[in-house]
Amino acid sequence: MFTLIAYTLHDSSYQSAITRALEQQLNINLNPDGTTHDLMERNAFHYQTYDIEPLLSACIAIYRATGKNYFTWQTVNQSTLKKCVDYITPYMTGEKTHPEFVNSKVPFDKKRAENGEKGYAPGTLFEPKNGLYVFSLATFFDDDYLKVIHEAAKDENYFNWRLALNKYTTK
């Protein structure tokens, strides 16, 4: 949010703090194989998408303001946001399925399952529609993700506000 506010106000005085915080977060949270820390802890794409959505939003704002591309920027361990999006791709297209929250190491996930919260029962399959927004954000950097979106949505005409902004925003 801080990144979006600073760049919306065209306030570059926070640029070094934003860069430092983003790079630190990317280094901590992304793994070289395209997984995120939370996916490994919780075994749920629900949290993979939850992790990378705000990072992609910040990266779009930074790119538009500075031209710096953090989508393909490599961390110390050679991780990238692009790898994290690509990791989800076969689960979006139906090539693979993923049972969510199986073997989660987080007690809160077990409590949610015990409470019967929809979507948190171990073994509930990841629904590709839950990754559409991540891919809509990623399409800002790579139009090839549109194919994944249309396949996951099962609609060649699927369109949302993020895709509209991507189409009419200069890169």
Per the structure, the count of domains in the chain is 1
User: Following DSSP, what letter does each residue of the chain receive, concatenated?
Assistant: -HHHHHHHTT-GGGHHHHHHHHHHHHHHHB-TTS-BHHHHHH--HHHHHHHHHHHHHHHHHHHHHH----SS---TTS--HHHHHHHHHHHHHTSS--BTTTT---HHHHHHHHTT-TT-STTPBPPGGGGHHHHHHHTTT-TTHHHHHHHHHT-TT---HHHHHHHHS--
Query: What CATH number did the domain enclosing 19 receive?
Result: 1.50.10.100
pTM above 0.85, yes or no: yes
Domain extent at residue 56: 2-168
| Residue 170 pLDDT level (bands cut at 50, 70, 90) | low
pLDDT, tens only, 81-101: 999 999 999 999 999 999 999
